[in-house]
Structure 1
Amino acid sequence: MAGRSLDDYARLARKGFDHVLAESLEAVERASAENRAAFDRTGLRPARSTRPGPPDTSTKILDRPWAAPIAVGPLAGLARPADEPAVLRAADAAGLPVVVDMVTPNDLAHPEPADDGPRWLRTYGYREHGDVERAVADAERAGFAALLLSLGSQGGGRLARPDAPRADWADVERLRATSALPLLVAGVRTAADASRAFDTGADGIVTDSLDALPDLAAVAGTHRPVLLGGGIRRGADILVSLASGADAVLVGRLVLDGLIVDGEAGVTDVLGALVRELEEAMTFTGTASIVETRPDSLRTGQRPPSPVRPTGTRGGAVGAWSGAASAQGNAVGVLRKDDLHPSLSDPVLDTMTFLNEVTHRYPDAVSFAPGRPYDGFFDTEQIFTYLRRYLDHLAAQGRTEQDIRTAMYQYGPTAGQIREIVADSLRADEGIDVPAESIVITVGAQEAMLLVVRALTAGPDDVLLAASPCYVGITGVARLLGVPVTAVEEREDGFSCADLETAIVRERARGGRPRALYVIPDHSNPSGTTMDAPTRAALLETAERHGILLIEDSPYRRVSPGTPLPTLKSMDRSRSVVHLGSFAKTVFPGARVGFAVADQQVVDTSGRTGLLADELAKIKSMVTVNTSSLSQAAVAGALLAGDGRISEMNAEPAAYYGNAMRTTLRNLDARLPADRRAALGVRWNEPTGGFFLTVHVPFRADNAALTRSAQEFGVIWTPMNYFYPQGGGHQALRLSTSYLTTADIEEGTARLARFIEAQSSAS
């Protein structure tokens, strides 16, 4: 009945234990004794939340919303198997997932999962490979949301699967190759095992060690969940687990207590009490939401807090540090990864490294991975021509020889010395009419992203929105700066302003402050999609109405054939758009020259006004000081030579890239005709320009699949899941067509089709 405490349920449940169950639970208690000792020596620090209202316990794991960071189960070994459906109903009502064990009776193994209560299936090692395939097929038909494979020993007594062999890494690989469902590996206790689990294809891990959480979380990064199972008795234990690095916890014993004492009502009461206690612990520590849980909420006697995640994600804080290395001392020249910035353990920063390694390892493979321009259009002698053109321009302006020497050899103004020339080019080519003072010349568009995100995010409540999938550069910047990113996922038919409004309202309801939306409207990287004219107009209206900025990135407009749609900035009448540009795809990739158009007014406390561009320049002065004068001169000379019209200068390359895209699409269609790809479940979009297109496949297109593609079929591509800030894109791949000849494309698509056929058959 309602009103009982968790201790009451534990005390009353013991009276209902039979001899066998009591022995099994005693073994479980011994296994979790280490965690209980760790919980007992770990307290919570009081603090006051800056946000009104109750704390938000909701979270998102593997792209599914949970009402609280609690998973129920596994259900194996519960005292009354006939009552197990009661646990499912209670968990569904609470909005919590349930881990169903493989030994559960058949009628329970095939429930219809509720929208707010996904099922995970716990499985084991198998003597026969066919058993794996049958189990996975059953789980997929039943609508299970994930698989959980337990490594090593399965325990004893009624809580164990009696006929299961010990699972090992080969079982992980086999299960990964068999199913595209998200896979979690349980029984992980070391960072080395966590790395191996992720390398083998795991999407998350489960550990039974509270003390191991900081190390495991550092390996997992921000988008691969880490769960703790064992020893949870209080809501405060959950918050301690999250602050130590977990994304969620598994709760079985407390659920069993409620079931034994009062059936479904008891389970409902236990889960409700656990969530209420979690809310109380969050209130005590001033934690407004799960994503804001931080290590400095912990007060420990023996174990110092360790950094686990970047600011803005659950369980991490920039500036937190691990005392272990400092207390013990480091060898000279040896640094602990734990003592470096937490973002350096984020998978986002490793994606391009992995691609480069694959490309280097398989040099004979046809690579659809690099998104760089074709260098056959660049002539070395042009460099000198462009430099001379710029020097002549300075002389024609009346600059003295000393002035010209200073312009070329000295650092130059932080905001850039070719702003007028860039402004003229934007006016002539893009209809963007802004004063030169509103432009900052940067080291590529990447620096422009860093400057803008840094300037716009003033505190922990500030959030960056991003159209997803999105360019990894913007998510990498956010990780380095500790800025949380909220994805606004594109639909099949393109970006939806209704989804943007939903994201803005949701963030504000949680106490967040959405500051800007990052978007690539034209031939985006990675998907290749282009935003239509009505959506552009609606996006500007939405941004103005909600008081957020739009960060418009535009690298692919002038490498595409035809006349592009107007930029957002050229349509901007309320200064809602910060426009980012780069000359890397068009004029001179090696010069690394980009720019930001930031004409928004900034008002200080005394009422004085300036431009956002001025603030960006201040930040730049502390980052790169200035953009290379020589690089600026080469780009400026090119713009002057073409009267600022990149559209005309780049007409031949744009036609080349357009032909490469059409050739790729034509060859894909020939290798995988409509009826065949329909049978396989393969589809792709058809961009009219840019460098990229997206291919959706019926299998998991991850690093393991990429390695097989390169090694066995001689073709390289990019996994789309690299580009989803909050997870997703697991069954899609990105193709880049910009750097390939027609012969390369013909051979590469033939190899790709063979790989897709083979991988689809194996799935």
Structure 2
Amino acid sequence: MSVTVSPNTPPNGRPLRRNDLHACVRDPVLDTMTFLNEITHRYPDAISFAPGRPYDGFFDIEQIFDRLRGYLDHLAARGRTPDEVRTALYQYGPTAGQIRDIVADSLRADEGIDVPPESIVVTVGAQEAMLLVLRALVAGPGDVVLVASPCYSGITGAARLLGAGVVPVDEGEDGLSLAELETVIARERAAGRRPRALYVIPDHSNPSGNTLDRDTRDGLLATAERHGILIIEDSPYRRVSPGTPLPTLKSLDRSRAVVHLGSYSKTVFPGARVGFAVADQEVVDEDGRVGLLADELTRIKSMVTVNTSSLSQAVVAGALLAADGRISALNAEQAAHYGDAMRTTLRCLDARLPASLREALGVRWNRPAGGFFLTVRVPFRADNAALARSAEKFGVLWTPMSYFYPDGGGNRALRLSTSYLTTAEIQEGTARLADFIEAQSATEENLPSGPANIRNR
């Protein structure tokens, strides 16, 4: 007897109920990038200030092979046999990473971060590093992670996948307030919760574009030591920005209060998917034996990704070796380009929306000196419906800042990414954006207050 099965019928005849899956699949945070991808594909001719991606013009196919050969030559020069070199490239490598010594040398040369290779875990991008650190630190239902808000959605997404509580520490327009941080810590402890760490991007933050000044950096370290919490420092934009950056929190850290996360997605190339965590905090077990937090992260990683791609590590290592470990030298041209892109964007916005018009409309923006992002504050709801109208009627895309507020907020602000566009695209895109802002500001009072005709997540 034959049975006809509809192509729409699952093999067991019973569709899964979404409500029976983990609650994280229904979390709006996980839908934000999906919506941006949908609208980007829907309006392919729109100029997009949405993606925080490196500029494609710096990528050269042949360079990958040069970097790979450089690393293989490095292994041979250190006495590795051909069989050992082959194994290093083709086999599963050490879970903690096989280029930790090269990463450590680079951090010492470029950032003044002097840590042993054993304190480093090489990860599948910085995103895996976030997941590992959160999984290790959040031990019970009363443990929470503090985040500078607005914050990168990757950290809140990782926390929600793990069921970890996220508590925002609101930034002002000038950046993180130490007084607000003290208030939040006291409030959480009074409620019986245990703040474990504060996540922050000190340099040219995603999404706001803000940079913490030196006094705030010093104050953060003092606060962390006083309250016994860790700082999770995420640092992807320092070496794609012009000029000499302020010291990393980790380079200023004298009490092992900072877990430093890094990524080669912006500085080498995103497709490599290589990042790292510096976790030199001591961990004492029940028998009094002392290890490192990096060891615990490695144990977790062994059950998540097993190891980071040996081939990707080899290419990244080759890039570091070619520059004697100095990402600053490797990325000098790129940093100048991204600085020019930011200045061009700001100059074009100033020309198209001069001060008198901005004041009349109630529009303003910050002025980052580097990084990929800036924030534009507007007098209307910058939500998905407004983004759809901007794409359809004006041919320009951006990112709603509301995506980056864990507890809501940012409804009248948008994020612009300046990194992925040419000068001509920036000039045309800012003109289109200014037209949209003027039109949307003028019609805001007449917009319907009911549900929009597009999903509003």
TM-score, normalising length: structure 1? 0.57
* CA shift digits 1:493-531 (9 cap, x unpaired): 221111111111100000000000000000000000000
2:90, 2:433 → 1: CA distance? 49
Of 586, 604, 611, the match for 2:292: 611
Q: Which runs of 5+ in 2 are unaligned?
A: 1-9, 445-457
Counterpart in the other structure of 1:380: 61
* CA shift digits 1:335-367 (9 cap, x unpaired): 110111101101100000000100000011110
Q: Which amino acid aligns with 1:553?
A: D
Greater relative CO (CA pairs within 8 A, separation 6+): 2
Counterpart in the other structure of 1:584: 265
1:346, 1:393 → 2: CA distance? 46
Q: Does 1:637 align with 2:285?
A: no
Instruction: Tell me: CA distance 1:708–1:575, structure 2 relative to 1, closer, same or farther (3 Å).
Output: same
Q: Secondary structure at the match of 1:488?
A: strand
Q: Which amino acid aligns with 2:117?
A: A
Counterpart in the other structure of 2:140: 459
Q: Secondary structure at the match of 2:172?
A: coil
Counterpart in the other structure of 1:489: 170
Counterpart in the other structure of 1:516: 197
Q: Does 1:601 align with 2:286?
A: no
Of 553, 569, 574, the match for 2:255: 574
Q: Is the 8 A contact 2:174 2:210 kept in 1?
A: no
2:57, 2:443 → 1: CA distance? 40
Q: Does 1:440 align with 2:114?
A: no
Following TM superposition, by how much is the alpha carbon of 1:333 offset from its aligned partner in structure 2, in angstroms? 5.9
1:530, 1:620 → 2: CA distance? 31
* CA shift digits 1:28-64 (9 cap, x unpaired): xxxxxxxxxxxxxxxxxxxxxxxxxxxxxxxxxxxxx
Q: Which amino acid aligns with 1:476?
A: G
Q: Secondary structure at the match of 1:486?
A: strand
- Written as runs of structure 1 = structure 2, the 5 A alignment for 1:129-168 is none
1:448, 1:433 → 2: CA distance? 19
Q: Secondary structure at the match of 1:489?
A: strand
Q: Which amino acid aligns with 2:390?
A: S
Following TM superposition, by how much is the alpha carbon of 1:332 offset from its aligned partner in structure 2, in angstroms? 3.2
Counterpart in the other structure of 1:396: 77
Of 356, 359, 371, the match for 1:675: 356
Of 437, 442, 446, the match for 1:761: 442
Q: Which amino acid aligns with 2:229?
A: I
After superposing on structure 2, the runs of 4+ consecutive aligned residues of structure 1 that deviate more than 6 Å are none
- Written as runs of structure 1 = structure 2, the 5 A alignment for 1:420-569 is 420-569=101-250
Counterpart in the other structure of 1:690: 371
Q: Secondary structure at the match of 1:490?
A: strand
Instruction: Tell me: CA distance 1:402–1:475, structure 2 relative to 1, closer, same or farther (3 Å).
Output: same
Counterpart in the other structure of 1:334: 15
Counterpart in the other structure of 1:622: 303
1:402, 1:492 → 2: CA distance? 56
Q: Does 1:662 align with 2:370?
A: no
Q: Is the 8 A contact 2:89 2:311 kept in 1?
A: yes
1:575, 1:488 → 2: CA distance? 22
Counterpart in the other structure of 2:87: 406
- Written as runs of structure 1 = structure 2, the 5 A alignment for 1:96-175 is none
1:407, 1:492 → 2: CA distance? 48
2:359, 2:333 → 1: CA distance? 36
2:25, 2:144 → 1: CA distance? 21
- Give the RMSD, CA atoms, in angstroms: 1.0
Q: Which amino acid aligns with 2:414?
A: L
Counterpart in the other structure of 1:242: none
2:407, 2:269 → 1: CA distance? 34
* CA shift digits 1:153-191 (9 cap, x unpaired): xxxxxxxxxxxxxxxxxxxxxxxxxxxxxxxxxxxxxxx
Q: Which amino acid aligns with 1:624?
A: T
Instruction: Tell me: CA distance 1:374–1:333, structure 2 relative to 1, closer, same or farther (3 Å).
Output: farther
Following TM superposition, by how much is the alpha carbon of 1:330 offset from its aligned partner in structure 2, in angstroms? 10
Q: Does 1:419 align with 2:91?
A: no
- Written as runs of structure 1 = structure 2, the 5 A alignment for 1:314-393 is 332=13, 334-393=15-74
* CA shift digits 1:669-717 (9 cap, x unpaired): 0010001000100000000000000000000000000000000010000
* CA shift digits 1:208-265 (9 cap, x unpaired): xxxxxxxxxxxxxxxxxxxxxxxxxxxxxxxxxxxxxxxxxxxxxxxxxxxxxxxxxx
Q: Secondary structure at the match of 1:526?
A: coil
2:29, 2:11 → 1: CA distance? 28
Q: Is the 8 A contact 2:390 2:397 kept in 1?
A: yes
2:346, 2:309 → 1: CA distance? 39
Counterpart in the other structure of 2:383: 702
Q: Which runs of 5+ in 1 are unaligned?
A: 1-328
2:173, 2:259 → 1: CA distance? 27
